[in-house]
A and B are shown apart, each in its own frame.
Chain A
Amino acid sequence: MSAHYTATAKALHWCIAVLIFGMLGLGFYMTGLDLSPTKLQLYSWHKWAGVTVFVLGLLRLVWRLGHPPPALPQHMGALERFAARAGHLTLYVLMFAIPLSGWLMSSAKGVQTVWFGVLPLPDLLARDKALGDLLQTVHLSLNFLLMAVLAAHVGAALKHHFIDRDDVLTRMLRRRPD
């Protein structure tokens, strides 16, 4: 019996994980820069990566509907199960809400998002400075929430691995050859 996630689910999880950690670092770094060509370039890359996370998130959601994740370990209590579900649900919501807030912020600030400089996303909002500033605060706040939930997510995975000694972490990793 296989308790592992599917290879596709694993690939999506780790791609998105790398992107999200890179994006967090890039986001905090680039906003502190003085205006320069490098800054504009990094902003574009950040937006491209954000749209990519959104798209990969959609794929992941669709895949998950057809391939439910393995069940949680038997030893987990009701509270732990609730925390795990709430945490994962929050991560999924943020995986969409954060790129969406960035996209809307970009529109409100008068800069259309053009994926990889080729595919223009529609501007759902007209240029509006006050709204742009508000969405910037929303984007930042959602990212602080993300960092908190990610810390819990990583912490929980490590706790499962090293303290509970169950397969919660390993089933998201490469299968060991038997």
Chain B
Amino acid sequence: MKRSALALLSTLAFASSAAQAVEYNHVLAEQSQIAFGYQQMGVSMEGGFKRFSSQLRFDPAAPDAARAMIEVDLASVDTGSAEGDEELARKTWFNTPDFPSARFESTRVNALGGNQYEVAGTLTIKGTTRDVVVPATFTVAGDAGVFEGSLNIQRGDFSIGEGAWKAFDIVANDVVIRFRITAVAK
């Protein structure tokens, strides 16, 4: 009895030290979401993307070595209406035939203390690349690590909405991108 308790303790100790060094590197697509929000004549609108791929390497013990890449399939946009989805594929919006995906690639991860991080990187949409800094939190949920955060961009910076849509009085310039990426160690 005593021995088995000891064995259990040492197993736990080993498990917890292993958890310290765990590298989350396999993204679970079904438990990950990328959504966006914007204002349309004072109305808060919500949308999302059904398909995106991501590669991740994150060890909470060594955030400096972390890497993240997310590629969003822009044709999978879901605005809540078929008319809106079709419109976004057009040249004036995402121009999906010429620019099928949007891409975020990290260059540096700063630990801000606690579960707060700052992920610097580049965001490329519709042929325009911009440096961005994405605030994110990291929490462990069972075997998985969950990254959550949001990034404010301005659609005008990426020529999203040209021509008649270029003015911001109907569809606002500010867009917030919200993400939840769940990864496990593999």
Contacts and interface: CB of A to CB of B under 8 A. Distances in A.
Given A37-B170, A37-B171, A44 B43 contact: yes
A116 B45 CA distance: 16
B81 A109 contact: yes
A112 B81 CA distance: 14
A129 B84 CA distance: 13
For the residues of A in contact with B, the DSSP-based class is: loop
B2 to A, nearest CB: 56
Given A114-B43, A117-B42, A37 B81 contact: no
B35 to A, nearest CB: 12
Given A36-B164, A37-B164, A37-B167, A114 B41 contact: yes
A112 B171 contact: no
Contact of B80 (A38, A113, A127): A127
B30 interface: no
Contacts of A87: none
Contacts of B42: 44, 114, 116-118
Contacts of B87: 35
Interface residues of A, number: 19
Contacts of B46: 110
A35 B83 contact: yes
Contact of B41 (A35, A36, A109, A117): A117
A114 B167 CA distance: 21
A40 interface: yes
Contacts of A36: 164
Interface string A7-46: 0000000000000000000000000000111101100100
B45 A40 contact: no
Contacts of B169: 37
Interface in B128-161: none
B44 interface: yes
B40 interface: yes
A44 B40 CA distance: 9
Contact of B84 (A35, A37, A117): A35
A41 B41 CA distance: 7
B165 interface: yes
Interface string A54-74: 000000000000000000000
19 contacts: A35-B84, A36-B164, A37-B164, A37-B167, A37-B169, A40-B170, A40-B171, A41-B170, A44-B41, A44-B42, A109-B80, A110-B46, A110-B80, A111-B40, A111-B80, A112-B43, A112-B44, A114-B42, A118-B42
